[in-house]
Amino acid sequence: MGNFPADLKYTKDHEWVRVTGKDKARVGITDYAQKQLGDIVFVELPKAGAKFKASESIGTVESVKSVSEIYSPLTGTITAVNEDLNEEPEQVNEDPYGDGWFVEITLTKADELKGLLDAAQYEEYIAEG
């Protein structure tokens, strides 16, 4: 069905979260999501320093099929943006959990991590879809 690394947390909007340090996380979209979108041709991301609440739109992903919103899975401040996606948006298709990441966030509500899905829960959610 898909590739869902066990060390990540997931949202029902198909974003993944990798905790990278105390109150820090990296965010991208799942392998399942990029397959549903098809070939990604453009990614619009926020600027570093932008603040977002959980579930707020932080940008868009444009594929040959559609344009989809990217939602912040957590409340916090964007501390880094994957600028490589400006020139190589296809990295999201090729390596969604690696080079295809979107943003890094410093969390202001780390307890929100508890509300995210683990890999087994996410896979079950997709299967029910």
Predicted confidence pLDDT, tens digits, the chain (129 residues): 568 999 999 999 999 999 999 999 999 999 999 999 999 999 999 999 999 999 999 999 999 999 999 999 999 999 999 999 999 999 999 999 999 999 999 999 999 999 999 999 999 999 997
Q: How many degrees, rounded to 5, is the angle at CA 40 between CA 95 and CA 62?
A: 135
> Domain residues of the chain, as ranges?
9-128
CA dist 69 and 80 (Å) reads 19
CA dist 46 and 52 (Å) reads 10
39: its two tokens: 């070939």
Helices (H) and strands (E) in the chain, counts: 4, 9
Tell me the CATH number of domain 9-128, given options 3.40.50.2020, 3.20.10.10, 1.10.10.10, 2.40.50.100: 2.40.50.100
User: Which residues 6+ apart lie within 8 Å of 15 measured at CB?
Assistant: 27, 28, 29, 30, 33, 70, 71, 73
The whole-number pLDDT of residue 30 equals: 97
The whole-number pLDDT of residue 37 equals: 96
What is the C-alpha radius of gyration for the chain, rounded to an integer number of angstroms? 13
User: What is the CB neighbour count within 10 angstroms for residue 17?
Assistant: 22
The whole-number pLDDT of residue 1 equals: 53
Which pTM was predicted? 0.95
User: Which residues 6+ apart lie within 8 Å of 7 measured at CB?
Assistant: 18
